[in-house]
């Protein structure tokens, strides 16, 4: 294992492979080709900013997985994966962003050479990193193979975290607390948003104690005033103003593991409707934590949250959370279960979610969120420790 490999014992990776192969067998998949960088990392430990080119993990039902990617990135694989050098495969740079050839031609030839030219191959069809052209070229190169949609097959195996994974999320949570408090402390009229973000990102990378900070899968989201009515705006160079609210959607990251945390600051006295919404949101969060017990469902958390909001006339049609843990850009969610009406995923100990009930109204927005851990019994644990309220600064 390379010197920068993920800090897990070989037994942890064997556990992951066993769970994935069990799911493959149930789906009738002989070989799984994994392109999601989070899933690649989870299975092999591979960690590098190379997901802008085609790469992936080849996982057969037996034997070690192989990491396959651009030749110059094989050095990074050698330093991060747990497998032997024989399981690191690279394609020539002539395939990179070429109009006349494609990396999937190389992959197809390798799969044929491995004896997988006529088997059932699972691919992550609905994935940021697997393009329509990639699939078309792979199909052309493997005319005897049958392709199966294996979207989220690995993702669902990641839903219940192991003890070592939860330990990394707790470390990330300490960074989340630190940068959220910093953002609240620095928020003041006249401070330029980009300067505040710069301080937050600096602190996030510096980390806490011995835990250095990795880059988060989502950049800081910090819209103010009317911009905060939109959930996914980032920042600009404008000054913060009295009479406006700014929400901070942030996460620390340790070895690719996240613990998102959001809080909102209002500069000056907030309007009555925002104050009422903040109080109802806090009540809903507390109710949701009580409902987040093993044996209940993800739908139960959403129902508990929405009851106090409905009492003051706020209807939230969108989901209020999703699983989190190990992730790469552009999203720290795991893209499996959702905290919303109709999702009947049964809660199990070890599941971790970003309980994310943002409120985006006409002219303003409000976010107070928690990363939660489903315990063996009782209500969920919040990994971060920061007051759940609308922060008001005179």
The predicted-structure confidence for 161-170, as pLDDT tens digits, reads as follows 999 999 999 9
Question: Is 4 contained in some domain?
Answer: no
So what's the pLDDT on residue 367? 98
Closest by Cα among 13, 28, 9 to 158: 13
Contact yes or no for 263/385 (Cβ under 8 A): no
pTM for the predicted model, two decimal places? 0.96
Question: Is 151 contained in some domain?
Answer: yes
- Asked if residue 370 and residue 298 are part of one domain, the reply reads yes
Cα torsion 35, 36, 40, 46: sign: positive
Confidence of residue 5 (pLDDT cuts 50, 70, 90): low
So what's the pLDDT on residue 359? 96
DSSP-assigned letters across all residues of 245-263: EEEEEEEEEETTEEEEEEE
- Asked if residue 173 and residue 135 are part of one domain, the reply reads no
Measured CA to CA, the distance from residue 290 to residue 299 in angstroms comes to: 13
Question: Hey, how many other C-beta atoms are within 10 angstroms of the C-beta on 250?
Answer: 30
Q: How long is the chain?
A: 394
Q: Please give the residue range of the domain that contains residue 367.
A: 163-393
- Asked if residue 306 and residue 197 are part of one domain, the reply reads yes
So what's the pLDDT on residue 101? 97
- Asked if residue 175 and residue 130 are part of one domain, the reply reads no
**Which residues does residue 359 pair with via DSSP β-bridges, in sequence order?**
366
Q: Is the pLDDT of residue 384 over 60?
A: yes
Backbone angles phi, psi at 233, to 5 degrees: -85, 155
Q: Which residue has the tokens 């959607």?
A: 249
The pLDDT tens digits of the residues spanning 138-149 come to 999 999 999 999
Confidence of residue 347 (pLDDT cuts 50, 70, 90): very high
Cα distances (Å, whole numbers) of residue 209 to 118, 173, 297: 52, 13, 37
Question: Is 365 contained in some domain?
Answer: yes
- Asked if residue 211 and residue 151 are part of one domain, the reply reads no
- Asked if residue 175 and residue 83 are part of one domain, the reply reads no
Region 190-215 average pLDDT: 97
Q: Which two tokens stand for residue 388?
A: 């759940």
So what's the pLDDT on residue 4? 59
Region 336-350 average pLDDT: 98
Cα distances (Å, whole numbers) of residue 300 to 17, 264, 289, 349: 31, 25, 10, 16
Q: In this structure, what CATH number is given to the domain that contains residue 94?
A: 3.40.350.10
Q: Cα-atom radius of gyration of the chain, to the nearest Å?
A: 22
Question: Over the chain, what is the mean pLDDT?
Answer: 97
Question: Is 263 contained in some domain?
Answer: yes
- Asked if residue 339 and residue 210 are part of one domain, the reply reads yes
Task: Write down which residue in 109, 139, 157 finishes a domain.
Answer: 157
Question: Is 3 contained in some domain?
Answer: no
Task: Write down which residue in 122, 157, 192 finishes a domain.
Answer: 157
The pLDDT tens digits of the residues spanning 263-293 come to 999 999 999 999 999 999 999 999 999 999 9
Question: Is 196 contained in some domain?
Answer: yes
- Asked if residue 225 and residue 338 are part of one domain, the reply reads yes
Measured CA to CA, the distance from residue 293 to residue 374 in angstroms comes to: 6
Region 67-94 average pLDDT: 96
Q: Is the pLDDT of residue 93 over 80?
A: yes
Task: Write down which residue in 157, 175, 199 finishes a domain.
Answer: 157
Q: Is the pLDDT of residue 229 over 70?
A: yes
- Asked if residue 335 and residue 243 are part of one domain, the reply reads yes
Region 51-55 average pLDDT: 98
Backbone angles phi, psi at 378, to 5 degrees: 80, -175
Closest by Cα among 76, 93, 72, 91 to 41: 76
So what's the pLDDT on residue 226? 97
Question: Is 67 contained in some domain?
Answer: yes
Question: Hey, how many other C-beta atoms are within 10 angstroms of the C-beta on 317?
Answer: 6
Counted domains in the chain: 2
Exposure string for 357-381, b = 16+ CB within 10 A, e = fewer:
bbbbeeebbbbbbbbbbbbeeebbb
- Asked if residue 183 and residue 61 are part of one domain, the reply reads no
Q: In this structure, what CATH number is given to the domain that contains residue 321?
A: 3.90.230.10
Confidence of residue 203 (pLDDT cuts 50, 70, 90): very high
- Asked if residue 205 and residue 126 are part of one domain, the reply reads no
Q: Which two tokens stand for residue 273?
A: 């409707």
So what's the pLDDT on residue 3? 52
Q: Is the pLDDT of residue 6 over 80?
A: no
- Asked if residue 95 and residue 173 are part of one domain, the reply reads no
Question: Is 2 contained in some domain?
Answer: no
**Which residues does residue 57 pair with via DSSP β-bridges, in sequence order?**
34, 67
Burial of 393 (0-12, 13-18, 19+ CB in 10 A): middle
The pLDDT tens digits of the residues spanning 122-134 come to 999 999 999 999 9
């Amino acid at each position: 294992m390379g010197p920068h490999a993920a800090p897990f014992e070989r037994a942890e990776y064997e556990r992951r492979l066993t769970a994935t192969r069990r799911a493959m067998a149930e789906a009738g998949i002989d070989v799984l080709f994994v392109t999601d960088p989070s899933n690649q990392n989870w299975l092999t430990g591979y960690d590098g900013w190379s997901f802008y080119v085609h790469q992936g993990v080849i996982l057969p039902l037996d034997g070690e997985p192989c990491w396959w990617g651009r030749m110059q990135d094989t050095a990074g694989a050698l330093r991060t994966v747990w497998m032997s050098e024989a399981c690191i495969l690279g394609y020539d740079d002539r395939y990179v962003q070429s109009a006349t050839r494609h990396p999937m031609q190389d992959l197809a030839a390798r799969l044929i050479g491995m004896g997988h030219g006529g088997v059932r191959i699972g691919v992550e069809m609905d994935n940021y990193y697997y393009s329509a052209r990639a699939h078309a070229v792979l199909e052309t190169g493997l005319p005897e193979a049958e392709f199966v949609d294996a979207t989220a097959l690995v993702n669902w195996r990641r839903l219940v975290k192991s003890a070592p994974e939860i330990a990394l999320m707790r470390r990330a949570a300490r960074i989340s607390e630190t940068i959220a408090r910093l953002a609240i402390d620095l928020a003041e009229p006249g401070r330029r948003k980009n300067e505040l973000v710069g301080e937050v990102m600096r602190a996030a990378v510096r980390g806490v104690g011995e835990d250095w900070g990795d880059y988060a899968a989502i950049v800081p989201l910090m819209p103010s005033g009317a911009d905060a009515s939109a959930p996914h705006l980032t920042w600009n160079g404008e000054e913060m103003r009295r009479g406006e609210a700014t929400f901070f959607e942030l996460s620390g990251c340790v070895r690719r593991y996240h613990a998102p945390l959001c809080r909102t600051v209002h500069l000056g006295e907030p309007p009555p409707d925002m104050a009422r919404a903040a109080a109802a949101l806090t009540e809903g969060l507390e109710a949701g934590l009580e409902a987040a017990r093993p044996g209940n469902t993800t739908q139960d958390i959403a129902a508990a949250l929405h009851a106090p909001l409905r009492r003051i006339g706020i209807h939230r049609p969108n989901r209020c959370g999703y699983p989190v843990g190990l992730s790469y850009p552009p999203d720290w969610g795991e893209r499996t279960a959702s905290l919303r009406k109709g999702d009947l995923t049964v809660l199990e100990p070890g599941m971790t979610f970003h309980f994310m009930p943002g409120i985006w109204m006409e002219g303003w927005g409000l976010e107070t969120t928690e990363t939660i851990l489903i315990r063996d019994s009782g209500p969920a644990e919040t990994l971060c420790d920061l007051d759940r309220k609308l922060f008001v600064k005179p």
